[in-house]
Amino acid sequence: MTKIGIIIGSTRPGRNGEAVAHWVHQVAAQRTDAHFELVDLLDYKLPHLDEAMPPSLGQYSRPHTRAWADTIASFDGFVMVTPEYNHSTSGALKNAIDFLYAEWNNKAVGFVSYGSVGGTRAVEHLRLIAGELQMADVRAQVALSLFTDFKDFSVFTPGEFQRESLTAMLDQVVAWSRALAPMRTR
């Protein structure tokens, strides 16, 4: 069964990302074409990147890196749920991405973002990063507005049409995760 990780890309107390990621998981869990799991960066307690060797060499020396690598290696594809901080993704998500290399390669990724203009600028940056990691970023994405998909900027109340956007994105992530499977077994 294709396995997709839904990564919660923010770590701050009171983060909106948790409610958004749970909504993604709730919708995704109703599908039968893949298995979906939440991945919370808070559970991995990653410091700022503290590996001496470049991640592309795969020589991970720290227990927290190995635990993170084992989790990411176990998935065929991902949904990254990202906030927009200063027109980019969060430092926490970028740092967690930077820790690894091969574990991301030849896997699909889709994005769910939120912010004043839907977090779309954060996703544009993540697409550049995905290219360097040899990830296949799907076109469909979910852009949630802090003005219309949240009450008082903090209570998540997604518009009904957002579910359709999410389904379209998940369709592409599952399809590309499967299509890339032969690349990953090489």
Ligand X SMILES: Cc1cc2nc3c(=O)[nH]c(=O)nc-3n(C[C@H](O)[C@H](O)[C@H](O)COP(=O)(O)O)c2cc1C
CB 11 within 8 A of CB 85: no
Q: How far is the CB of 10 from ligand X (least distance, A)?
A: 3
Q: How far is the CB of 97 from ligand X (least distance, A)?
A: 16
Q: Which stretch binds ligand X (CB under 6 A): 8-16, 44-52, 94-102, 130-138?
A: 8-16
Site for ligand X in 138-177 (CB under 6 A): none
Q: Which stretch binds ligand X (CB under 6 A): 60-68, 72-80, 112-120, 123-131?
A: 112-120
Among 5, 10, 76, 176, binds ligand X (CB under 6 A): 10
DSSP string for the chain: --EEEEEE---STT-SHHHHHHHHHHHHTT-SSSEEEEEEGGGT---S---SS-GGG----SHHHHHHHHHHHT-SEEEEEEE-BTTB--HHHHHHHHT-STTTTT-EEEEEEEETTTTHHHHHHHHHHHHHTT-EEEEEEEEEETTTSEETTTEE---HHHHHHHHHHHHHHHHHHHHTHHHHH-
Per-residue interface string for the shown chain with ligand X, residues 59-98, x marking contact by CB under 6 A? ------------------------xxxxx-----------
Q: How far is the CB of 166 from ligand X (least distance, A)?
A: 17
DSSP string for 113-149: EEETTTTHHHHHHHHHHHHHTT-EEEEEEEEEETTTS
> Between residues 69 and 123, which has the closer beta carbon with respect to ligand X?
123
Among 4, 5, 6, 15, binds ligand X (CB under 6 A): 15
Q: How far is the CB of 42 from ligand X (least distance, A)?
A: 11
Structure token digits, residue 94 = 């970028």
Q: How far is the CB of 128 from ligand X (least distance, A)?
A: 17
Site for ligand X in 115-134 (CB under 6 A): 115-117
- Site residues for ligand X per CB under 6 A: 10, 12, 15-17, 83-87, 115-117
